Structure 1
Amino acid sequence: MHERSRGSATPPRDPDGGAWSGPEGARAFAAVEAATDWLLGYPFVFRHLARRIGEGDVLVDYGCGPGTVADAAARRLGARVLGVDTSPEMLELARRAGTAVAEFHLVEHGRATGLPDGCADAVMCNHVLASVPTQEGLLAVFTEVRRLLRPGGPFVLLTTDPACAGPEYASLRIGGPGPGPTPGEEFTVRLLRRDGSWQEVRNHAWPVELFAGLLHDTGFHDVTQHRPTVDEAEEVADPDVVRSRDWEAERRRPPLVVTTAVAH
């Protein structure tokens, strides 16, 4: 997200949809286990959002994929969640899953169709930036998120640190041997699937230190970053997830970073 287990496959790509584009890419994404994310990622995203929004507030999940995380957010936060994605196939999977997500909207030409300016009380964006090939593309994502947010609304961004190559995380392998990738360079990430095999994906290496400046440039302030630990996760993650593994690699070098910002 090194060693393969019972085979691996790479999902198809296209210039607009990224690594998970098309029907095959959508099905591949839906088969990913994401245990490390459910320990060190999503619970911390939800915790931050819970401090800022309440029952009935509008939360946009920018890059919602098949809707799993958006569904969890809707149920845990009581928010009215709107899922948006560049992939029609992802959105179709999400609609068929019968989630608690209120609406789904397609992103076309960088804009979430059908959603007006300032419609969201909060926006979350989980593991989307690794599919963006250029810094201009990152700015475009942040600009659209800012358009959707009301002034004062929080933006919560979850990313994998591309510098955390080497450790064998529970559901994640980052890069490979040799020097680390340069900013924006493609590198290989492997994700554990629920059948025990590994899904190989080509990501783009965006250092987490880059985000603060780009967020400031696109209308955000109060940017903070937090690298959640296993000890912290024992207080916020699902106890069944916490007990499912020893999380040895995650304890040594936590690989996920939560970036938060507030819309001007």
Structure 2
Amino acid sequence: MKTSFKTEMIANKFEAYNDILEQTLGFRFVFQTFLSNPKITRVLDYGCGPGKVSYRLAKKTGVHVLAVDESKEMINIASKKRSHPNINYHLIKNDNLSFLKDNSVDGAMACYVFINTEKKEQILRMMKEIYRVLAPHSPFVILDTNPDSTGIEFSTFRNGIKGKTYMSGEARQEWLHINDQEDLVLHDFHWPKSVYEELLTEAGFQEIEQLEPTLKDIPEDELKIIQEKHHDHHWKSEWEFPPFVIYKSIKLVK
């Protein structure tokens, strides 16, 4: 069983989740890829959910974001709460980006998409479709929960059961801690790091780079600002263990 973000209850509860950890150790590293290249003006957010990442990227960089998702409920939340002149939200079906031409976007990101995907074949299909619409020399960035940190209790979530060894593709629960509510239990899938590299390569991507940041990788002054803004938040295992894994890759001209 996989999580259906197409249900209103799950979509609303996911919207209520405080993603401070994802912002600190995930999105900032994704955005750096697009900030470092002024030629990137059109970015695909594949699996945009409630639009939080698209909205932050549009505000921070000024790029035009094409935000897509298969959940009508998520797209509705994103359109209502995170409308922005530089964002276009699109409802897609069957992983298909048919509204986009080949080589038509300058960058792409997929945040917490593949952990919710049950089959390797479907992940590969998504990657190939993203590859198709990317212009040559354009980056693709993946952000997912770290398969090597399964069972570790982080400040905002726990992915999997402590001490359990998961097989490739095995179902794995994730508990998102939501203030003043019961945890939102997501039904994800365990994909080892080797699977990401294998599928990216098969889809045609090159120059694959892997990042696994912890709080020790955040400049002290920036971390202080974050802590002042979220004074009631208490960090946990993210000091020592990376909660996420990031893959950066490039579509090169063959």
Q: Tell me the TM-score normalised to structure 1 length.
A: 0.87
Q: Secondary structure at the match of 2:218?
A: helix
Does the aligned pair in 1 maintain the 2:55–2:87 contact within 8 Å?
no
Q: 1:26 aligns with which of 1, 5, 11?
A: 11
C-alpha deviations, 1:102-126, integer Å up to 9, x for none?
2111221221242222221000110
- The question of 1:262 aligning with 2:250 is answered yes
Q: Which residue number in structure 2 is paired with residue 146 of structure 1?
A: 131
| Range moving further from structure 2, 75-84 or 112-121 | 112-121
Letter of the structure 2 residue corresponding to residue 75 of structure 1 = K
Matched residue, 2:58:
74
Q: CA RMSD in A?
A: 2.0
The within-5 A match list for 1:24-103 is 24-54=9-39, 57-100=41-84, 101-103=86-88
| Residue 216 (structure 1) aligned with residue 201 (structure 2) | yes
Residues 72-102 of structure 1 deviation map (CA, whole Å, 9 limit, x = unaligned): 0001111001100111111111111143252
Superposed structure 1 runs of 4+ greater than 4 Å apart? 235-239
Structure with bigger RCO (C-alpha 8 Å, 6+ apart):
1
Residue type at the aligned position of 2:69: D
Matched, 1:247 2:231: no
- What stretches of structure 2 of length at least 5 have no aligned partner? none
Q: Distance in 1 between matches of 2:54 and 2:222?
A: 16
Which secondary structure state, in structure 1, belongs to the residue aligned with residue 180 of structure 2? coil
Question: Which range moved further: 241-250 or 252-261?
Answer: 241-250
Give 3-state SS (helix, strand or coil) of 2:92's partner.
strand
Q: Which moved more, 1:96-105 or 1:79-88?
A: 96-105
Q: Is the 8 A contact 1:158 1:257 kept in 2?
A: yes
Matched position secondary structure for 1:241: helix
1:158 touches 1:259 (CA, 8 Å); kept in 2? yes
**Cα distance, 1:176 vs. partner?**
1.1
- How far apart are the structure 1 equivalents of 2:227 and 2:178? 19
Total equivalences in the alignment: 248
